[in-house]
Chains A and B, each alone.
Chain A
Amino acid sequence: MSDDDVLLQVDGVCKNFGEIRACDNVSFELWPGEVLGIVGESGSGKTTLLNCLAGRTEPDSGLISYTNRRGEASDIFAMFEPERRMLARTDWGFVHQNPRDGLRLDITAGGNIGERLMMVGARHYGNIRGEAETWMNRVELELGRIDSLPRTFSGGMQQRLQIARNLVSGPRLIFMDEPTGGLDVSVQARLLDLLRELVRELNVAVVIVTHDLAVARLLSDRLMVMRHGAVVESGLTDQVLDDPQHAYSQLLVSSILQV
């Protein structure tokens, strides 16, 4: 597997919910280490697309193909369920907007991080504990809280714990759904900065859904603007934000309030 292999190939993905077109013929390629932002207002189909890409919602038509560490590309919905579940534990991560959807609230912070390692076969308690400590540090959580339950954490701490839990197994692709959505602005800035550093350091590819264009600018290399389930514009992040071509992208960009 080299950097010249596409990591994710998406071709003509469609998904309807009754009469509603949530995804309308979406196609793109994602390369290793690339950060793709998906922007658009509520109801534009961003999250449905993300769920399709992550193997959580099956599209009505279209192809989503993932290239594994051995360089073999395969249709993620043609795989057997256990195989897809294994990918979700080893190669992929999913960061939910609400950290409670991505954490196990009844086990400790350290347990939440360690669980991902145990899923991929780690058994040595000392090593697992060591890794959990390392990751507590990296996401700037106090080591003294390693044995606390996540429900005693603030929203920002929970979100950082969710990120640690996702990154500990060394994934190649992370899906993020409004990762800074429910947080105070000051907490958001800290989390964004942390994400930016980790993504660069680990060279992990990311698909991030956000309605916040400032978040998109800070984190993503490339943007797709969605409306009514369709991609209306895509390109380099700064091109799309500084010189938007489509009427809808222009409206989105011009609607940002200046501080």
Chain B
Amino acid sequence: MVTKQNTQTMIDVSGLSKTFVLHTQGSARISVFEDLSLDVAAGECMALDGPSGAGKSTLMRILYANYRIDQGRIEVRHEGEMVDLASSAPRTVLEVRRHTLGYVSQFLRVIPRVSTLDVVAEPLRALGTDEAEAHDRARTMLARLNVPERLWGLAPATFSGGEQQRVNVARGFVAELPILLLDEPTASLDAINRQCVMGLIDEAKTRGAAVVGIFHDREVRDAVADRVFDMRETLAASGEAA
């Protein structure tokens, strides 16, 4: 049962249009969205659904302000106020990401020499948590995701796909941010670890986080999603060469 406080809107996208213009390829124009709107409430998980190329990952990146947009507003609730990421200064976007917006991408961007433990602890350190506590919480998260302890001190560059993904998930969930964007968080995981990620998503919802995810795995989607956003209906008229 959703409590009243949990029905607060956390993400409010309106009138979103996005076109890619490929200057290096004859200025081809690819229109991805026209006038797309969606909203997600606290404690709710929305799954983005649609075939490959429907723009699911593009929409996720737009929600994280990683991709820019031509028109519209991308509002997220940050420390009680709605902030439009599309029109905010870079330092505001970074502040919102630090405190409010977590993103688990499909691939881990590894930094040379930085240990797994530090990779996972980093979002907490960025919030000012002291090193000892950040490391404690990172260890708990890594253990929960069954990342072998002997790997914690190593940089994740040489890990397997599944191990890297679990490091990425650990990093995404460790700071318990109010909004989580999950791009196929279970894609290369076995059944046990899939269960584990589903458990983390459920806990996040229970504490009131808004979750937007792409889940190709039907079982995962049915288990965690409260609503499905069908991208087929939003797909803009196909691209035309200009």
Contact = CB atoms under 8 A, between A and B. Distances in A.
Interface of A: 31, 34, 189-190, 192-193, 196, 200, 218, 221-222, 235-236, 238-239, 242-243, 245-247, 250-251, 254
Contacts of B111: 193, 196, 218
A246 B113 CA distance: 33
B65 interface: yes
B112 interface: yes
Contacts of A247: 23-24
Given A190-B112, A190-B113, 14 more contacts: A34-B91, A189-B113, A193-B111, A196-B111, A218-B111, A221-B91, A221-B94, A239-B65, A239-B66, A242-B61, A242-B67, A246-B23, A250-B24, A251-B24
Contact of B114 (A193, A221, A222): A193
A207 to B, nearest CB: 14
A243 B68 contact: yes
B143 interface: no
Contacts of A218: 111
A34 B93 CA distance: 13
Interface of B: 20-24, 61, 65-68, 90-91, 93-94, 111-114, 126
A245 B70 CA distance: 11
A242 B65 CA distance: 11
Q: Is the interface of B mostly helix, strand, loop or mixed?
A: mixed
B109 to A, nearest CB: 8
16 contacts: A34-B91, A192-B112, A193-B112, A196-B111, A200-B126, A221-B91, A236-B90, A238-B66, A239-B66, A239-B67, A243-B20, A243-B68, A247-B23, A247-B24, A250-B22, A250-B24
Contacts of A189: 112-113
A222 B90 contact: yes
A235 B90 contact: yes
A236 B93 contact: yes
Contacts of A193: 111-114
A222 B93 CA distance: 11
Contacts of B20: 243
